[in-house]
Each structure stands twice: as structure tokens, then as C-alpha cells.
Amino acid sequence: MSAAPAPQSPEKAAPKKSGVLSVRRIALLATTVAGLGAAAIVAAPEFNMPLHYPAAHAQNLTEQAKKLPAPVGFADIVEKVKPAVISVRVKVDGGPATTGLGADMENVPPGLREFFRRFGMPDGMPNGMPGQRGGGHNVITGQGSGFFISADGYAVTNNHVVEKAESVEVKTDDGKTYKAKVIGTDPRTDLALIKVDGASFPFVKLADKAPRIGDWVLAVGNPFGLGGTVTAGIVSARGRDIGASAYDDFIQIDAPVNKGNSGGPSFDTEGNVIGVNTAIYSPSGGSVGIAFDIPADTVKTVITQLKEHGSVTRGWIGVQIQPVTKDIADSLGLKKAQGALVAEPQDGSPAQKAGIKAGDVITAVNGEEVKDARDLAKKIGSMQPKQEVKLSVLQNGSEKTLSLTLGQLPNSEKQANAGDGDNNGNGVDMGKLGLTLAPAARVAGAGAEGVVVTGVDNSGAAAEHGFATGDVILEVAGKKVETPNDVRKAIASVKSEGKRTVLMRVKKGDNSRFVALPVGNG
């Protein structure tokens, strides 16, 4: 028996011909490009069926494979921006009976208080941060993050990080510690400007354009005291309203941020700051991938004023406003749910002097369309007091243009307090609406005007639309009401016109709002 022929190497088995690549060589090329291990290369099968390519094309494939970039991370960006990010440490006099939150919660916007309890407030005793006692007062040591915006030591952080601070220190990325001075704060946007003496600090730039949903984002900060921490994620959403203030316009990101990240920057892939980390949503207290940033354009506007004046002044027209819902638009005969509905103009305000009334819908400012109530607040708030503006208003079904001079937004915001009411047993049942009503003048504490809600059926339409005991109905379908019978007549009139909803102006505490109730089956 003759011996089997010795196996030939691939080079000998296939003659070298220009323009011919075996599947074996293609497999090796693909594996190399993909970066797989040697075992995968050895396992690649060899077929004797050649693939024919023009010689130039085969050479081009090889050259392209050589040019493919290696996997790229964020190291270059981090190396560029990380030196500008600082850790911020503050000492706050917690008073004789401190809770350890490290700031005055009364000055924090109500919608953010729960967020700050979980995330942003400087963590003091008894939450694990070091604290000192002296003179009968608790001195709380808290910490957050920030970043330099100029070489001469101006830096941005959150208002709630430095508010009420007795002293502020910053620690830079190279481990140096500096004393810092608070230049100015703005509680409404939760921004603060601080200053460190010096002239050669590394700094970063605020982005000139808004990020897109899905863009990469890097968060750098001081979570749990671990300075210089970098996390990555994407922009999850924009224009988030979390109930913090009338100026909410948060960027939502999923890059993990935690306690101590507050005031730190989030960067795009060009190394520009797209936002300032301010709050997270977290049932557990830790990151669950939902964080909120103050947008760079807001930061620019606020920081400019803080640097020049130490505070922020905003235009003010003096109205309580609310969104135009689909039901409200239907009640007012509007084609689309857009604009800002005036619940009530304040006495002596620029709006009242210009002739704006409860029930008006503000549709444009200086010819620029108003999308909703928040959009109106942002537009007016971005203007300066004493500026002349023209408001497009829908009043009693007619479009008007009203001119007014902006006032200055007061420093304190009056919070609404829900009235308790008093069900004295003299109420009149409003049937399927689920309301029991009585003249306000007959109910202690309800005032002299309108009809007070003395009872709410939890299964009725009124409960679904936010009615509560103690609310006072001032108007129904644009008409003032003084008795439950006035309410009933107004509803009957609306139904006779074939409308499906009735618009009521309702007072809750010191504020009033419009509510559209369905009356088809009332």
C-alpha cells in the first residue's frame, strides 16, 4: 500500500494568482478585523472553491482593513475636561435642632424638595458625613460638585449646595484645596456662581447647541465624596417638567449620578457642558438611571446676571396661569390645546392694568407663539423689567393685542394653601358630577364669594379632575355663581348648547385655576 501524500500548506495547495482569494483567507481577514482570538482563526474552515475578485479590489479590501480604527472610549474627552471639575465642600450652621439636610428647605422650590432629600442636599449628620458641634449649634459639613468656567476661578455649582454656607472650599482634580466665595445664587433655577482666587485654572465651555435625544453624555463629579468620578450614558429626554418651578426645562440623562454629583457638569462628546446635574428620581436613594440637568442655555443666562449683579431679575406680568388642556380648549371653542390660560390676574399687576382677565388665553408674546403655560413663563422670565411687550390674547372669543410694561418678578413666591372647608350639612348634591355644594358665605372660612365644595364623591367626575373639599367655585361658563342653583343653571345652559364640557374657575387657597368638567351625563 502506497503512503498517503503529505498534506500541503495553503500556500502550496493554491497557486498564487492575482485577483484570487480563497474563502480561507477571507475568513482570516474577517476574523482579524473583528478582533477575535486565535482559536477562532484556527477554526475557520478551508474550502477549495475560490472567490474571484479583481486584483485592485482585493488590495483595497486589505488596505481598508488596516485603516479600521480600534474601539474608541471616552478617555481623550475625560483627559480634556476632568481637570476643570471640582469637589465643593461647605459648612452650614444647622441650628440647635438640625435635621442634617444642610440647607434651608423653605427656600427650595417645593417640587424639588423630595428630589433634594434623596440627592442634592449637602449630606450632614446623621447621614454619615462628618459634623461638628460648637456653641450649642450643629455645624454640618456637606459636599457637592462644580466646574470652572474661566481661568480666573469662576465656577458653577447648585444653589442648594452652597445656600446658607458659612464657608465654601473647593478641591481641584490635582488635589489642591482653595477657599471659595459665593458671588450669587438663583433659587428658581438652582444655580450658583462661586469664585476662587487665581489666574490659571483649567476651565470648560458651555455648549452652544442643545443635545439631541440619544446623544452620548458624560457626567463628572464627586458622588459620595469620591471626587473625579466619570460615568457615561445618553440623553434620555428633553424639556422635562418635574414641578420644581415655572422655569423647568430639564434634560433627562441616564448616566449614573448620585449624592455629591449635585452641581457637577454633564459633557457632550466634544467636551462641552450640556447641563448641570441637579436632581435624580430614585425610590431607593441611589441612581436608577433617571437624572435631571439644567440646560446650558439656562446656565449661560443666569450665570451672566449673577456675575454682573449677584442676583437674577426677571420680567413679570402678574398672572396665575395654567395649561390649556383638550377639555379646556373644547370649552373655549379653541381649535387646538395651546397657549396659556389666565386663571387670575393679580391686583395691580401689569397684566391687570393692561386689561387681561381671568379666562383669557395668551397665545403669543411679541408675535412669537406661546406653546403652553410653562413656555409663557420662560418667555416672560427671560426678559428684563420695564421692557415693553405685546401679548396676543383670546378674550371672550375675540383676538386682541395688548401692550404692557413688564414689572419685576418678586423674590418670594406665595405658596397656595388648600382650604379645609366645613361641611355644615346644608350642601346641595350635584348628582353625577360628584359634588356637594353650599354658598360660600354660609361656610366658615370660605369667604364671601362663590360656591364652596363641601363634599366630593371619589367615584365622580369632579374627583377625577382634582376637586377637593374646601375648593370654591367662582365662575361657571364665564358667569359668576353665588348659589348651587347658579351652578346647576349654568351647567344646564352649556348642555343645551351641545357642549360636552363646562369650564369652571375654582379657587384653592390663595390661587385660582380653571377646570373643565364633562357634563354629557351630568
Q: Which residues are catalytic?
A: 160, 190, 262
Please say whether the beta carbons of 177 and 167 come within 8 A. Answer: no
The C-alpha atoms of residue 207 and residue 258 are separated, in whole angstroms, by 23
Q: Residues with Cβ < 8 Å from 261, sequence gap 6 or more?
A: 119, 144, 145, 219, 221, 222, 223, 229, 277, 291
Please say whether the beta carbons of 488 and 496 come within 8 A. Answer: no
Evaluated on CA atoms 32, 35, 36, 37, the torsion sign reads: positive
Quick one: DSSP state of residue 303?
Answer: H
The C-alpha atoms of residue 491 and residue 485 are separated, in whole angstroms, by 10
Smallest Cα–Cα separation from 345: which of 397, 412, 391? 391
The C-alpha atoms of residue 519 and residue 130 are separated, in whole angstroms, by 60
Pairing of strands 165-171, 137-148: unpaired
Please say whether the beta carbons of 451 and 483 come within 8 A. Answer: yes
Write the single-letter amino acid at 481.
Answer: V
95: three-class secondary structure by DSSP: coil
329: three-class secondary structure by DSSP: helix
In the numeric block, the cell 471639575 is attached to 85
Cis ω for the linkage preceding 126 (within 30 of 0):
yes
Phi, psi of 282 (to 5 degrees): -160, 110
Smallest Cα–Cα separation from 137: which of 173, 103, 97? 97
What the block records as the C-alpha cell of 243 is 414641578
What the block records as the C-alpha cell of 444 is 366658615
Characterize 62-74 residue by residue with b for buried, 16 or more Cβ atoms within 10 angstroms of its Cβ, and e for exposed: eeeeeeeeeeeee
Strand partners, 315: 408
Q: What would the DSSP string read from start to end of 26-76?
A: HHHHHHHHHT--HHHHHH----S-EEE--HHHHHHHHHHHHHPPPP--SHH
- Classify burial at 273, counting beta carbons within 10 Å of its beta carbon; exposed 0-12, middle 13-18, buried 19 or more: buried
Q: Is 228 left (phi over 0), alpha (psi -120 to 50) or beta?
A: left
The C-alpha atoms of residue 462 and residue 513 are separated, in whole angstroms, by 14
Phi, psi of 329 (to 5 degrees): -60, -40
The C-alpha atoms of residue 341 and residue 263 are separated, in whole angstroms, by 34
The C-alpha atoms of residue 278 and residue 160 are separated, in whole angstroms, by 9
